[in-house]
Every structure is written in structure tokens, then in C-alpha cells.
Amino acid sequence: MVGAGGPVPRFLRDRGLGSEACQKVLQDMELWAEIRRRVLTDEISRRQAAREYRLNYRTVVKIVGHVEPPGYRRTAPRPRPKLESFLPRIAEILEADKQAP
């Protein structure tokens, strides 16, 4: 059984747990809203929601913290291109080439 994040370990697969449940809740807004409503109205606790919906506790915390699923978030800023320091010189060369015979 292979999920979006790679193979699911056997001990999780045997318990019916894995990346499928997490992927489903991230794609299904109704389920996201239901979990969020039930936790925020103190109908169930975060831990109970994690057990009931077969999600990681951290995923439930994320659900409670966001009105809708957050998109992809980069952990670190994108590195600057190595060519960046040479761009002014390249622009000069290109400008000079336009005026060449």
C-alpha cells in the first residue's frame, strides 16, 4: 500500500491507519469543517477527534488552527540563483550586442 507520502508501514496499515485518511481530510472541506466545528464547540476533544477520524494529533491541531486547509508552504525561502551576481554584466553585454554591426 503506497500513499502520497510513500509506503505506509505495516503496523499502521494493519490498524487501518495511513496517509489515505490524512489525504482525504485535506481534500474534503466538509470533513475539515465538521472536525473543526466538533472540536471548537467542545463536542469532542482534539485527542478524541484524532482517534475517531484516524488522524495524527498534529493534523487535528492544524485543522483547528486553520479555517480551510492551508496550501503548500515552503519551509525556507527559495535560494537565490547563482547567476544573480552576473546579471548586470550580462545585461551590459546584451545591450552592447544590440549596437554592434
In the predicted model, what is the mean pLDDT of residues 69-94?
A: 86
How far is the C-alpha of 53 from the C-alpha of 55, rounded, in Å?
Answer: 6
Predicted confidence band of residue 23 (pLDDT cuts 50, 70, 90) = low
Q: Where are the domains of the chain?
A: 2-71
In the predicted model, what is the mean pLDDT of residues 91-97?
A: 92
For residue 63, which of 12, 94, 26, 99 has the smallest C-alpha distance?
26
Q: Which residue is listed with cell 485535506?
A: 26
Find out whether 64 and 42 touch, Cβ atoms under 8 Å: no
In the predicted model, what is the mean pLDDT of residues 39-63?
A: 91
Predicted confidence band of residue 3 (pLDDT cuts 50, 70, 90) = very low
